[in-house]
Copies of this chain bind each other. A is one copy, B any other.
């Protein structure tokens, strides 16, 4: 069948079609499209013209098979519909796109099993690299080991795993927590509760530690009754606040592990007519867009989500170009963003 016929029938146009039309071999066409020097100028021109005329789209699959590079980066996040994660992905995508990479995104839905399955899928899909924020259930990291074994760049962000050495991008959770708790103390708070994330996750541990150390620095005893293991969701912020109120625990501030939880806390307190920050000050972590919507606006620790994505993708590109034995651990700075939800002193 002629290339003309195939084109009209919406058949896939391949190198062979172009080769047949020009009476050259497909290797010549392949090289001509790459502007290889060993192909004559006229031939090269003719090939490019035909390719354009018939809207030739190279089959990336075939190319990948031989080149062993799919030009794709796999990304696994616990949940896509959180502003933090979707913004990180936007950062990854931005860098990847400019470097000619596609991005395959998977959600673990905070489920360990699902994380294992999608990581296998991405391994089979031969992604050139993997960027991950692990699920809150994940303790065993074996499913990631294979990427390291096969020298596929592996970069963790935000939720860093324990017990596996690899590249990572995170923020200084300890310092962020320390600063925001210190800020609460400066505002006169003395009984500061902390709603933590799942404690198998390093960032939750680090924020907790920052909280404790800030208290100790200011000679405020750390009271385990003020530490509630919570989670990352607004709903968990709501239920934990209700628990705290039923427990009749007296507090003058709540430091939530992240903004969605802080929002849940504030909504619950407001519903019970507890004044923020007068009765209880509330602070979070992340600087979600919602932080400026709630009344009073939420004091929080701003994380550069987009930049985290950019940094992760940059590490990927570095490792692809020159794979190295050493790991890159990047820790970005946070920014204490003070708003009304924590301001108890008159100014």
Contacts and interface: CB of A to CB of B under 8 A. Distances in A.
Nearest to A55: B146
B57 A123 contact: yes
Contacts of A123: 57
Contact of A105 (B60, B62, B105, B126): B105
A12 B150 contact: yes
Nearest to A89: B80
Contacts of A60: 124-126
A16 B174 CA distance: 51
Interface in A289-315: 289-290, 292-295
Interface string A96-139: 01000011111100000000001011011110000000000000
A90 B107 contact: yes
A250 interface: no
A150 B81 CA distance: 32
B106 A103 contact: yes
Interface in A33-60: 55, 57-60
A102 B104 contact: yes
Contacts of A121: 102
Interface size class of A (residues with CB under 8 A): 35 or more
A263 interface: yes
Contact of A293 (B89, B120, B290): B290
A1 interface: no
Given A61-B65, A87-B81, A123-B57, A102 B106 contact: yes
Interface in A62-94: 62, 64-65, 70, 72, 79-83, 86-87, 89-90, 93
Interface in A141-162: 146, 149-151
A326 interface: no
A79 B124 CA distance: 28
A62 B263 CA distance: 48
Contacts of A124: 57-60
A234 interface: yes
Given A61-B65, A294-B294, A80 B70 contact: no
Contacts of A80: 80, 86, 89-90, 93
Contacts of A82: 86
A10 interface: yes
A120 B57 contact: yes
Pick from A58, A93, A125 the residue with the most CB of B within 10 Å.
Answer: A125
A222 interface: no
A328 interface: no
A301 to B, nearest CB: 19
A185 interface: no
A267 interface: yes
Contacts of A120: 57
Contact of A86 (B10, B86, B293): B86
Nearest to A126: B61
- 5 A-B pairs with the lowest CB-CB distances in the bound complex, closest first: A81-B86, A60-B124, A10-B149, A80-B86, A295-B295
